[in-house]
Structure 1
Amino acid sequence: MTTRPADQPDRPPAPAAPDLREDEVLRPRAERPGSGWRRLLHDVTGGRVNPGRSDVEERRAELLERVRGRLPGAHRVAVMSVKGGVGKTTVAACLGLTLAEHRGDRAVVLDANPDAGTLADRLTGDSRVTVRELLDDIDRVATWTDVSRYTSLAGRLQVLASEQDPASGDAFRRDEYERVCDLLGRYFNIIVTDSGTGLVHSAMEGTLARADSVVVVGAPTVDGAGRASKTLDWLVAHGHDDLARDAVVVLSGDRQSPEVDAGRVLEHFRARVRGVVEVPHDPHLATGGRIDPDRLRPATAAAFLELAALVADAFDVRRRR
């Protein structure tokens, strides 16, 4: 029997070595190109010659990885603009479509415009059932199937239309928005709200009270950029400085002027918010009709993928409740 000297203390057993992961053992390989001459060369040589993905493909892969980031709970995104006609509803719709397409969880866009919003028209053309019917029946909604009776579907994206009769007198109030948003949070991972253009109406108060992040829509014009900046000022002045600081600003290129220094506009917003995205003019979106993602120009689709990635960057940071 072997004895240990009295002055030699017992030593704890050595910790087990961690398992080797595949990515630590295998030599890195260039990813298969997705298109162009790189793909042709790869396929013609049976993969023996692989130039790898282009810079554009690498950038898209990086954005997709961010878009698909972990989401620990429901995340509420408010898309807002104090000025109409700058593409707010288009941005809300395309953001929702992009997130729903590239993630495996559930996403919904809610039209919270108290003045007969057009979100459902742009996405599905079906606004027969609206948030008003959902509110009337909300105490009887207890399952995913129940919720889906009040939404329409655009690809993988669920759409909840706003009240379509401006003469109904049933304005969308703060307490109603919060009840709907809380209900949706039980069945959806991502809730995108297309807000009205007024900052003082009751539904906007509820939207900001529930929002985890904000997208402010403007344009690279004097009035479009000025109103977007004033929207950020308003958020700060009304106690939402955290949302303003972490906001993403979208500059819609449907309206622009060569007399405006776009560089200075970008510099202004980059100093104020977490991210800025420029969405180029797109003839398909400019019609104001039903949005078909397959008809977007590549640059437009790339801009909305960048927007979705910026929004998804905040998924792990739960700033507000």
Structure 2
Amino acid sequence: MPNGRSSFVEDEHADRTPARDVEPFWAEEPETPVHGRVVQLPPAGVIEVEPGVFRPADDPALPPGVHLPVDPPPGRSGADSPWAQPPRRAQPAPTTPVPVRTGVHQPQPPTPPPSEDPFAELTSDETPTAEEFARRRLAKPAQQTATMGARAMLHKGTLGLVKLSPGKRELEYKQDVEMVRRNFGGLRQVTVVNPKGGAGKTVAVLLLAMTFGQKRGGYVLAWDNNETQGTLGMRAQQDFHARTVRDMMRDLHLFQGSQGRVGDLSQYVRAQGEGMFDVLASDESATAGEMLTAGAFAEIRDVVSRFYKLIFVDTGNNVRAENWQAAMDATDQLVITMSARNDSAETAARMLDHLEQGGHRRLVRQAITVVTMPPTRKDIDLPAIQQHFAARTRAVVLAPYEKLIDSGEPIRYGELSSNTRDAWLKIAAAVAEGL
């Protein structure tokens, strides 16, 4: 009976004994450790190198730094035993990949810890930046609706129901305004010349200064650099004082070094109100003292250049005068004026010969020629004048006849005809292109 009972017990547990060719139970993937729950530990002599992968302790392919688990002492096993907790798993070396056996997947690189920067996701590639916003803001959309002329009147008359694109004239007007308003990168001097009297130099200086002042918003000076008596102050609007360049020369010591402010300079220049520019007049008396020298021109230019970005210089009729030659040396853009008459054009042509012989050939080639039209085109040889100066200068433009200008009275921008203002805007754009 005992023998039978013993055999019965052995037969009862026979099906529970694992065969030798069956993989041990610890080779199966263990349960994920959960806080507060007991998990099974691999027996001694086997170590887990990664989740679900076990190797014998004597395996030479074990990575460095891996230690074997220690068997718990006798009587210390159970749910309340500290050895019942899962062992600390060793991490493979980051630079040396761990060789694995056939059938085992290569471990993936560890996932980097999440960034502690709370704004990290705001700087991703999908998030727009301030630079993108600034570029988009600077890219102005094209004007699709007319704002000038009959097209604009039709748009206004239909309460915005009819929208027409700008016409050719409006587009050219806006292009000219943008050319005049652009940044020149520093102080620029425009000099207007013609040795013949009555060639329109003073009028050109005033109208150019008015146009640039209107479109740019100030910082423009019209300077009469006549060696003796000039007329720029007579054709400009009067101010609270009648001081001239002679008075400024006498008080140049007030502007030496870092001395002198805009308020101090206003005592010598004449503000032109709506024209938004200032005038530095020359002597208006025929009994003035000595002529201006090249040194005097340089000292005055050094002072006014602190307060103005654009200077228009009116010149006299003597090309041999020191201040005339000093103005040529400081010129950035040359403007040649003449009336549509052969004598005025011939005088200007001889002056260009003089400038080219004196080393100003490049200045002549980049010059702008302005031809002032008379009340009628009868008995004028305009094609010959245009052909000659078009071959010697950069551009030839026509200034229409204006009765207000021909009257000799002070010129006010608001009293000019729209045709004259548009024509001088185009002339100003041609001048600005060379600056």
TM-score normalised over the length of structure 2: 0.65
Cα shift readout 1:273-309 (whole Å, capped 9, x = no counterpart): 1121211111110001110222222222122111211
Superposition deviation, residue 123 in structure 1: 1.1
Q: Is 1:193 the counterpart of 2:313 in the alignment?
A: yes
Report 1:11-22 matches (<5 A): 19=132, 21-22=135-136
Superposition deviation, residue 64 in structure 1: 0.3
Cα shift readout 1:61-85 (whole Å, capped 9, x = no counterpart): 1110100011211101111111111
Superposition deviation, residue 226 in structure 1: 1.3
In structure 2, stretches of 5+ residues that fail to align are: 1-93, 97-124
Indicate the larger mover: 42-51 or 252-261.
252-261
Superposition deviation, residue 202 in structure 1: 1.5
Superposition deviation, residue 251 in structure 1: 0.6
Report 1:286-297 matches (<5 A): 286-297=406-417
Report 1:110-259 matches (<5 A): 110-126=223-239, 128-141=242-255, 142-155=260-273, 156-254=276-374, 258-259=378-379
Instruction: Answer whether contact 2:144 2:166 (CA < 8 A) is retained.
Output: yes
Greater helix content:
1
Report 1:93-104 matches (<5 A): 93-104=206-217
Cα shift readout 1:28-57 (whole Å, capped 9, x = no counterpart): 551332233x12221133323211223222
User: Where does residue 198 of structure 2 map in the other structure?
Assistant: 85
User: Where does residue 49 of structure 2 map in the other structure?
Assistant: none
User: Where does residue 52 of structure 1 map in the other structure?
Assistant: 165
Instruction: Answer whether contact 1:92 1:194 (CA < 8 A) is retained.
Output: yes
SS at match of 1:187: coil
Higher relative contact order (Cα pairs below 8 Å, separated by 6+ residues): 1
Pair 252,68 (structure 1): closer, same or farther in 2 beyond 3 Å: same
SS at match of 2:155: helix
- 1:61 is aligned, of 174, 178, 185, to 174
Q: Percent identity?
A: 28
User: Where does residue 11 of structure 1 map in the other structure?
Assistant: none
Q: Pairwise CA RMSD of aligned residues?
A: 2.6
Q: Is 1:314 the counterpart of 2:428 in the alignment?
A: no
Superposition deviation, residue 26 in structure 1: 9.1
SS at match of 1:129: coil
Instruction: Answer whether contact 1:33 1:54 (CA < 8 A) is retained.
Output: no
How many residues align? The count is: 304
Quote the Cα distance in structure 2 between the aligned partners of 1:230 and 1:101: 34
Larger radius of gyration: 2
Quote the Cα distance in structure 1 between the aligned partners of 2:174 and 2:391: 27
In structure 1, stretches of 5+ residues that fail to align are: 4-13, 316-321
Quote the Cα distance in structure 2 between the aligned partners of 1:166 and 1:26: 54
Pair 265,44 (structure 1): closer, same or farther in 2 beyond 3 Å: same
Superposition deviation, residue 192 in structure 1: 0.6
SS at match of 1:165: coil
SS at match of 2:191: strand
1:139 is matched by which residue type in structure 2? H
Instruction: Answer whether contact 1:151 1:159 (CA < 8 A) is retained.
Output: yes
Instruction: Answer whether contact 1:134 1:150 (CA < 8 A) is retained.
Output: yes
Quote the Cα distance in structure 2 between the aligned partners of 1:125 and 1:26: 41
Pair 176,53 (structure 1): closer, same or farther in 2 beyond 3 Å: same
SS at match of 1:299: helix
Superposition deviation, residue 89 in structure 1: 0.5
Superposition deviation, residue 23 in structure 1: 7.8
SS at match of 2:305: helix
Indicate the larger mover: 285-294 or 266-275.
266-275
User: Where does residue 75 of structure 1 map in the other structure?
Assistant: 188
